[in-house]
Structure 1
């Protein structure tokens, strides 16, 4: 008996469906052949009712058997419709008989391959993006910045020797160029934060919070002082996520208050030690709007170091972004 069951499990999906239908038809045929039934010509009302009842029983039995046999396929279809490579790890339990189980295993294997390939391609893209940002920031600082500095010095010399009111007009031009130079330096810092490389993550986040504490927006920061060494890649991801979050808050949320917290969460029985970045504002919230390129970019960065990113409503009102980085689990962006 056990051998017969194993043989049935090894049948393909086509043959199992065929045998299910054949079994239902055979049982109905035997019931009509061996039972005390005859069919008159023309068919009597009682005979028609009996045949209709047998047909209904056949259809119901066939539908029930097919639903039972194809249930794993329905679960697979639901999973396929909800797969998101930016939220990896979701797999379908391998259940069902031979053909369906093989299909589920193939689907899970395909997801493994797609997630690995996406992680590799995203790492290369982000590495190229960081290199390009560094190049542009360097050119802004060395080329444009130095040129404007030379122009300021020349304008100062002209203003010192020019009569009024020309001297006042030249000084106004100086002030305009000086403001433009400050803006170029600010853009260069955002493209490639030198403070992150020179002074570390804590100082970089403090500087970032100070930059956004303008124009009616107040950024309160709370950064642990006993942070472990995270590595260059993890620090860069944490900084970029904080930068993108504050940028979105300043542009779209209408918030007045933002809290930026970076904390060290010790390991426990519930999970390993991790670094948690939490950014919470009192703005309008995300609502039902689809995720934009900024949030998708943050998710891709989080995947590169094995981190978990959650974006959702904050307690009360506003938006909360929470990034959890497991210690010792990061992969190199430059790999």
Structure 2
């Protein structure tokens, strides 16, 4: 039965029962109504009407209560925050409506996850292409310039040597920056040495660039996982550290990756900065989208003045069997 028809039937039956009960009470009670109505009978009529309306309102309120819950859920629903569902409180006529709404949320999350997967895959492909061009083209061109400068220094007059040395140092610095950008775009250490080494290198680069002390607690033997899961963990850790450098004004950061007893994983990026992050920026929404790809849950706790704690919980099924992720 369709929800509208079921709801109409419920309201009709409730009203019918209330009015039938009121009629029955008037029929068996000693109360009588004269024609015309006497003033002494008016209070009896008012009390009877109030009881009927009160009973009708109470029953309808309880019957339609799930609609208020549904409205509240619709106002706060966000495809990036998974698992928020409406529970059936046993109201049979609204069960189909609740199931339909929850099914719509399931489809929205699945479609969002699929579209995010395509977008992030394209993004990673573009990152690899840019990193390759930086390394193979710009990096090699700068290397050629350095070699040419080195050759020129051997034949340059003394009055030009200092200027050429300054230019050489500038080019060498530019070459180092290009290589760092290429490493951030394409974490070759992740592909070559694995997640543990990649996270350690990431923390070391962050500490060197920002001057913020990083305490690492990385499981040396995390459970076997797919390249997609490793990349998501690395990118979320990378974005978390980037946010610390940009916004936290922190003096210390804790980066941890630990295995859970059930076979899952927990990644945390915690700082002692100012906290107070109230809304998800582009970086945090990007982390949530990546978490959806592997069926993980990302939470962010950022009390004012209490630092920020970014936590990614990866369930065991996503770690051990990526093909069964939802």
Q: Could you tell me the TM-score, scaled by structure 2's length?
A: 0.88
Q: 1:36 and 1:211 mapped to 2: Cα distance?
A: 89
Contact 2:298 2:310 in 1 (8 A): yes
Contact 1:11 1:98 in 2 (8 A): no
Picking from 94, 106, 111, the partner of 1:112 is: 106
Contact 2:277 2:302 in 1 (8 A): no
Is residue 2:270 matched to residue 1:280? Answer: yes
- Cα deviation for residue 120 of structure 1 reads 1.1
Q: 2:221 and 2:174 mapped to 1: Cα distance?
A: 39
- Cα deviation for residue 117 of structure 1 reads 1.2
**Aligned match of 2:61:** 67
Residue by residue, what CA displacement relative to the aligned partner does 1:92-129 show, whole Å, maximum 9, x if unpaired? Answer: 22344443111011111111211111111111111111
- Cα deviation for residue 83 of structure 1 reads 2.5
**Aligned match of 1:219:** 214
Cα 1:232–1:37 shift into 2, 3 Å: same
Q: Secondary structure at the match of 1:81?
A: helix
**Aligned match of 2:278:** 289
Aligned residue pairs, count: 318
Structure 1 residue runs without a partner (length 5+): 1-6
Q: Could you tell me the TM-score, scaled by structure 1's length?
A: 0.86
Q: 2:150 and 2:185 mapped to 1: Cα distance?
A: 30
Is residue 2:9 matched to residue 1:15? Answer: yes
**Aligned match of 2:259:** 264
Q: Secondary structure at the match of 1:54?
A: helix
Q: Secondary structure at the match of 1:169?
A: helix
**Aligned match of 2:290:** 301
Cα 1:76–1:109 shift into 2, 3 Å: same
**Aligned match of 1:329:** 318
Is residue 2:179 matched to residue 1:185? Answer: yes
**Aligned match of 2:189:** 195
Residue by residue, what CA displacement relative to the aligned partner does 1:26-49 show, whole Å, maximum 9, x if unpaired? Answer: 4445555676423455x5433332
**Aligned match of 1:311:** 300
Contact 1:159 1:168 in 2 (8 A): no
Q: 2:188 and 2:5 mapped to 1: Cα distance?
A: 64
- Cα deviation for residue 134 of structure 1 reads 0.4
